Amino acid sequence: MPENGVKTDLKPDATYRRLLAWVVPYRMRLLSGFVAGTLYSLANGAFVWVIKGGMHEVFSPDETEFSSAFIIVVALCFPAVGLLRGAADFLATYCFRWVGHRVVMDLRNAVFFHIHDMSVSYFSKSRTGELISRTTNDTMLIERAVSTTISDLAKQPLTLIFMVAWVFGIDPKLAVISLIVFPICIVPVAIFGRRVRRYSKQAQERIADVISILQESVAGARIVKAFGMEEYEVGRFKAQTKAFFGRTMRVAKATAIVEPIIVFIASVGIALLLVYVRSAKMPVDEFFAFVAAYFMMYEPVKKLSKIHVHIQQSSAAADRIFEVLDTASTVTDKPGARELNESISEIAFDHVRFSYGDEPVIEDVSFEVSSGDKIAFVGSSGAGKTTLVNLLPRFYDVTDGAILVNGQDLRDVTLSSLRKQIGLVTQDTFLFNDTVANNIAYGSSDAQRDAIEDAARRSHAHDFITAMPDGYDTVIGERGVRLSGGQRQRLSIARAILRNPPILILDEATSALDTESERMVQAALDELITGRTVFAIAHRLSTISNCDRIIVLDGGHVVETGTHAELLAMGGAYKRLYDMQFDVVGGRG
């Protein structure tokens, strides 16, 4: 998955230490939680103290020895200690949960930011469902690692220490007999902890597959229905949910078996305790205090023993998140890159080569474009047209050669300043599930409403927008599903007009439209391209006949260059493409 081919595989302790670094900014919240956790432990110790000091008096055979008032005081100690314990437990839990959820929010934001910082090649190698899973499900698992685990580390060790001190203080010999069974808990925890880590990672991979199928099926719902593939998609989804179920049940089995083992070990300790109490004739107050301390030891031992399991499970999720964060983008700003603020007078492709790996796509392409020129690229599918124009905004970096702006290599200017100079209108228009106005203003967030409406008028979109239920405030659905293809395209053009870039890339902007829609969109494009440097890709050669220059590509090479008339006169590759298209159009007529 990483662009550089290096896969992150940290050891669990290294992963967890790295995860804890995200907690450090919230150390004051953590400190508050630890203080509350300490009070919680002291309250647990106070419970045993109250039992030890009060049971003898309550059950004393000599009722005259202690007054009723003293008994009431002893009785009131229980709710007082209970209130302190409950308040401390609440505060500790809240503080640690706050930190846990905040760390999850920070991680999600960091992953989302990093994903958008990646080059286009990263998305061509990554599944959408996989990225969604890592951003949502994996980060959710980490919340328990931060909040629950740290909470247990704050509250349980001191409670365990206090309880151990109490049982040894009451009866050292009985304490040794009772506690000798507790170290046995470590063995199953260690064994099943490793299994949890392995199965958790597999489960997260399976849920990523589930999300990928769901995303594809929803996005391609019309194709699924058109080809009658509902049962096939349901079958695919069931297979992946079954695989996910299998992995999660392995995690559940490995996690669930730990507590029964500990309960069994504790029950053995209780049995030994009863035998000893009977033979040693232990006083009732000491017995009550010992039993209370012994049972209060159970929760710390249980939770502390599960910390290893939680760390293993959370580390598996953290590995997948850090794998994304550790993936370096292949297209970045060079150290010392400058802002591109001046007017662009010339763009030159200087012996440009590009390949997606070992397979060359662009081979030794050279040409120059002056400001205001309109350049078109034509050729058969796979000739390299789209790849070539994608090098201009640095969606990819050239493998060899250079692209020069005003005589300076594109790689020497910042990405943000370069892309501000470029507008893009493609065949596959992408609109967001937002209002019409916000879709037009995408990339121009400070635009005023009158500027948005002016851009819509110039793109011949204002009339259909005002006819919509809420006009410019109408929400158009995911990917603009409530609009026709021509309407979506005109909104895309309005977006480019509002952005007002000096350079414009048109990637087959009218190829998927019917004749009427194409006429409207072409009128909008004519408004858009006025006064701009244009790089156009078009299958319909009639739409580029008035370009200043047409470059014909074949197999990544430039095979012809000239105006529409000049290329027709050459009788070469362009003429063949033109005649083929004319025949097709004529055949339809």
pLDDT tens readout for residues 446-456: 889 999 999 89
**What is the percent of the chain with per-residue pLDDT over 70, rounded to a whole number?**
80
Q: What is the pLDDT of residue 2?
A: 44
The more confidently predicted of residues 152 and 509 is 152
Q: Mean pLDDT of all residues in the chain?
A: 79
Q: Express each pLDDT in 549-570 by its tens digit.
A: 999 999 889 999 999 899 999 9
> Could you tell me which of 46, 45, 50, 51 has the C-alpha nearest to residue 284?
51
At 364, which helix (H) or strand (E)? Answer: strand 360-370
Mean pLDDT of 44-65: 65
Structure tokens at 283: 């006083």
Q: What does the alpha-carbon distance between residue 478 and residue 467 come to, in Å, rounded to a whole number?
A: 20
Structure tokens at 583: 């025949």
Tell me the angle at which helices 68-117 and 139-170 cross, rounded to the nearest 10 degrees: 150
Residues paired with 551 in a beta bridge: 377, 561
468 pLDDT higher than 80: yes
Mean pLDDT of 103-113: 87
The more confidently predicted of residues 589 and 33 is 33
Place of tokens 């349901």: 234
186 pLDDT higher than 90: no
Q: What is the pLDDT of residue 352?
A: 94
The more confidently predicted of residues 347 and 134 is 347
Q: What is the pLDDT of residue 437?
A: 93
Place of tokens 């506690």: 179
The more confidently predicted of residues 441 and 233 is 441
Of 113-122, 319-328, 388-397, 516-525, the least confident: 516-525
Number of neighbours of residue 393 by Cβ within 10 angstroms: 19
Q: What is the pLDDT of residue 414?
A: 92
Q: What does the alpha-carbon distance between residue 171 and residue 183 come to, in Å, rounded to a whole number?
A: 20
Asked whether the beta carbons of 361 and 556 are under 8 A apart, the reply is yes
At 402, which helix (H) or strand (E)? Answer: strand 400-405
Number of neighbours of residue 454 by Cβ within 10 angstroms: 16
Asked whether the beta carbons of 157 and 270 are under 8 A apart, the reply is no
Q: What does the alpha-carbon distance between residue 89 and residue 84 come to, in Å, rounded to a whole number?
A: 8
Structure tokens at 263: 């309960």
Of 15-24, 35-44, 61-70, 532-541, the least confident: 61-70
Mean pLDDT of 144-171: 80
279 pLDDT higher than 60: yes
Q: Residue 46: which residues within 8 A CB-CB, separation 6 or more?
A: 77, 81, 84
In this prediction the pTM is 0.71
Q: Express each pLDDT in 300-315 by its tens digit.
A: 776 776 676 677 767 7
Res. 7 pLDDT band, cuts 50 70 90: very low
Res. 183 pLDDT band, cuts 50 70 90: low
